[in-house]
């Protein structure tokens, strides 16, 4: 099968576009690279854009972009998706630097945009704001976690890294422990968008920068059990939650276990079903506030 290899971008809609744009540039430290009447494109790496913002009635994550490998066949990928009874659309030049794209909708209503990366845009990392390494993962509340998990695995080629009980799945499409995570809570909506920072020191600087600019943490800093990443969560101006993380587990696909780390309890740490235990959420002990689930 043809597997997607990387999350490329996430697209959001919100009533106050300008405020969210200011947050992404001045606070997070992404670069505004393109602006049309419909959308603002923000870059964080060599790719042209990682985040797309447009105006809408309510704040939500509309679309996720994924790359296939440079020598993968997009026509064959489209047939693979259709083979699962999923309706696809083909779009030529839909977004800057993307020439050809297959789109379809996942079972919880998020649009998937799959493409081959053409030219790199060669973005420099900016010098103001937090400046994360990259967009790392997007997490969703969902009504039917098994159905959506199977869709990402069967149609897009994701692999399951871990489950918490039967209600929370963590899925990878590359070496990172998770690029998509899905928590069954009865509704289909965005949970959080996560950006990778360098390390613990960068996370501290980021939390101070957030605080100086009036952003309070919702949860963290802590270290998750599942994925073992350092984390800190806050709410963006559009009301959606942003996570900053570092030291996320990395899978060695050939060996079938995550790169060993001193904080692992399993040796080696392999994909598994975790009990619904506080340490699966935070090895350091402090559990999420109710505010995290709003």
Footprint of Fe ion on this chain (CB under 5 A)? 194, 243
Q: Which residue lies nearer to Fe ion by CB, 196 or 243?
A: 243
Q: Which residue lies nearer to Fe ion by CB, 162 or 243?
A: 243
What DSSP designation does 176 have? B
**Nearest distance in Å: CB 137, Fe ion:** 6
Q: Which residue lies nearer to Fe ion by CB, 102 or 197?
A: 197
Q: Please report the DSSP string for 89-134 in residue order.
A: EEEEEEETTEEEEEEEE-TTSPEEEEEE--S---PPP-SSS---SE
Do 294 and 233 form a contact (C-beta atoms < 8 A)?
no
Q: Which residues of 124-145 are buried (b: 16+ CB within 10 A; e: fewer)?
A: eebeebbbbebbbbbbbbbeeb
Query: d(Cα 56, Cα 17) in Å, to the nearest integer?
Result: 8
**Nearest distance in Å: CB 147, Fe ion:** 21
Query: d(Cα 189, Cα 214) in Å, to the nearest integer?
Result: 26
**Nearest distance in Å: CB 139, Fe ion:** 5
Query: d(Cα 133, Cα 14) in Å, to the nearest integer?
Result: 24
Query: d(Cα 93, Cα 259) in Å, to the nearest integer?
Result: 39
Query: d(Cα 64, Cα 240) in Å, to the nearest integer?
Result: 16
Q: Which residue lies nearer to Fe ion by CB, 116 or 198?
A: 198
Phi first, then psi: what are they for 6, rounded to 5°?
A: -165, 145
Query: d(Cα 221, Cα 50) in Å, to the nearest integer?
Result: 24
**Nearest distance in Å: CB 170, Fe ion:** 9
Q: Which residue lies nearer to Fe ion by CB, 243 or 249?
A: 243
Output the CA torsion sign for 125, 16, 214, 60: negative
Of 124, 169, 126, which is closest to residue 151 (Cα–Cα)?
169
**Nearest distance in Å: CB 176, Fe ion:** 11
Q: Return the residue nearest Fe ion (CB atom).
A: 194
Do 28 and 8 form a contact (C-beta atoms < 8 A)?
no
The label of the residue with tokens 């490998």 reads 69
**Nearest distance in Å: CB 226, Fe ion:** 9
Q: Which residue lies nearer to Fe ion by CB, 39 or 280?
A: 280
**Nearest distance in Å: CB 7, Fe ion:** 13
Q: Which residue lies nearer to Fe ion by CB, 41 or 219?
A: 219
Q: Which residue lies nearer to Fe ion by CB, 36 or 289?
A: 289
**Nearest distance in Å: CB 194, Fe ion:** 4
């Amino acid at each position: 099968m043809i597997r997607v290899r990387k999350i490329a971008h996430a697209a959001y809609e919100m009533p106050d576009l300008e405020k969210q744009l200011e947050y992404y540039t001045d606070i997070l430290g992404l670069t505004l690279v393109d602006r049309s009447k419909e959308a603002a494109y923000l870059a964080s790496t060599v790719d042209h854009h990682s985040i797309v913002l447009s105006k809408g009635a309510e704040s939500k994550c509309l679309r996720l972009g994924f790359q296939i490998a440079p020598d993968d066949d997009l026509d064959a990928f489209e047939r693979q998706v259709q083979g699962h009874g999923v309706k696809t659309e083909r779009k030529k030049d839909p977004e800057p630097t993307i020439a050809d794209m297959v789109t379809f909708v996942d079972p919880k209503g998020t649009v998937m945009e799959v493409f081959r990366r053409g030219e790199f845009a060669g973005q420099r990392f900016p010098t103001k704001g937090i400046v994360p390494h990259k967009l790392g993962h997007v997490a969703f509340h969902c009504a039917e976690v098994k159905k959506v998990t199977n869709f990402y695995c069967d149609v897009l080629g994701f692999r399951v890294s871990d489950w918490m009980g039967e209600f929370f799945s963590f899925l990878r499409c590359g070496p990172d422990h998770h690029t998509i995570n899905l928590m069954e809570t009865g509704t289909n909506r965005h949970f959080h968008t996560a950006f990778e920072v360098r390390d613990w020191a960068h996370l501290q600087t980021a939390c101070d920068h957030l605080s100086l600019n009036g952003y309070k943490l919702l949860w963290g800093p802590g270290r998750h059990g599942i994925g073992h990443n350092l984390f800190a969560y806050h709410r963006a101006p559009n009301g959606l939650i942003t996570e900053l993380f570092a030291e996320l587990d990395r899978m060695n696909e050939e060996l079938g276990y995550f790169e060993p780390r001193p904080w692992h309890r399993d040796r080696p740490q392999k994909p598994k079903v975790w009990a619904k235990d506080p340490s699966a959420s935070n090895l350091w002990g402090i559990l999420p506030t109710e505010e995290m689930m709003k």
